[in-house]
Amino acid sequence: MRKAIGAVDIGGTRTRVGIFRDGRLVARTSFATKGLPEVVEALRRLLVRGKAEPVAIGVGAPAPLDMRRGVILNCPNLPHWNGVAVVEELSREFGCEVYLANDATTAAIGELEFGHRARDFVYITWSTGIGGGIVSGGRVVWGMEGQAGEVGHMVIHPQGPHCRCGKRGCLEAIASGTGIARAARELFARRLTAATVVGRARDGDPTARRIVARACEAMGQGIGILWEIFEPEMIVLGGGLTRSWDYLGPMVLSAAREFARTPPRVELTPLGDDVGLYGASALHRHIEYFA
Query: Which parts of this chain interact with Zn ion (CB under 5 A)?
Result: 153, 163, 165, 167, 170
Burial class (CB in 10 A: 0-12, 13-18, 19+), 240: middle
Q: In what order do the strands lie in the sheet with 121-126?
A: 139-140, 130-136, 121-126, 234-238, 266-268
Shortest Cβ distance from residue 104 to Zn ion (Å)? 14
In 3D, which of 43, 94, 84 has the Cα closest to residue 62? 84
With b for 16 or more beta-carbon neighbours within 10 A and e for fewer, the 164-197 pattern comes to eeeeebbbbbbbbbbbbbbbbeeebeeebebeeb
| Nearest CB to Zn ion, comparing residues 163 and 219 | 163
In 3D, which of 271, 279, 273 has the Cα closest to residue 106? 279
Distance CA 48, CA 1 (A): 10
Distance CA 85, CA 96 (A): 15
| Nearest CB to Zn ion, comparing residues 165 and 229 | 165
| Nearest CB to Zn ion, comparing residues 16 and 153 | 153
Query: Which residue type occupies 20?
Result: F
Shortest Cβ distance from residue 159 to Zn ion (Å)? 14
Pairing, β 52-61 against β 97-102: parallel
Q: How many CB atoms lie within 10 A of CB 208?
A: 23
Shortest Cβ distance from residue 153 to Zn ion (Å)? 4
Shortest Cβ distance from residue 173 to Zn ion (Å)? 6
| Nearest CB to Zn ion, comparing residues 163 and 241 | 163
Shortest Cβ distance from residue 158 to Zn ion (Å)? 12
Shortest Cβ distance from residue 48 to Zn ion (Å)? 42
| Nearest CB to Zn ion, comparing residues 108 and 163 | 163
| Nearest CB to Zn ion, comparing residues 35 and 161 | 161
User: Quick one: CA dihedral 187, 189, 194, 198, positive or negative?
Assistant: negative
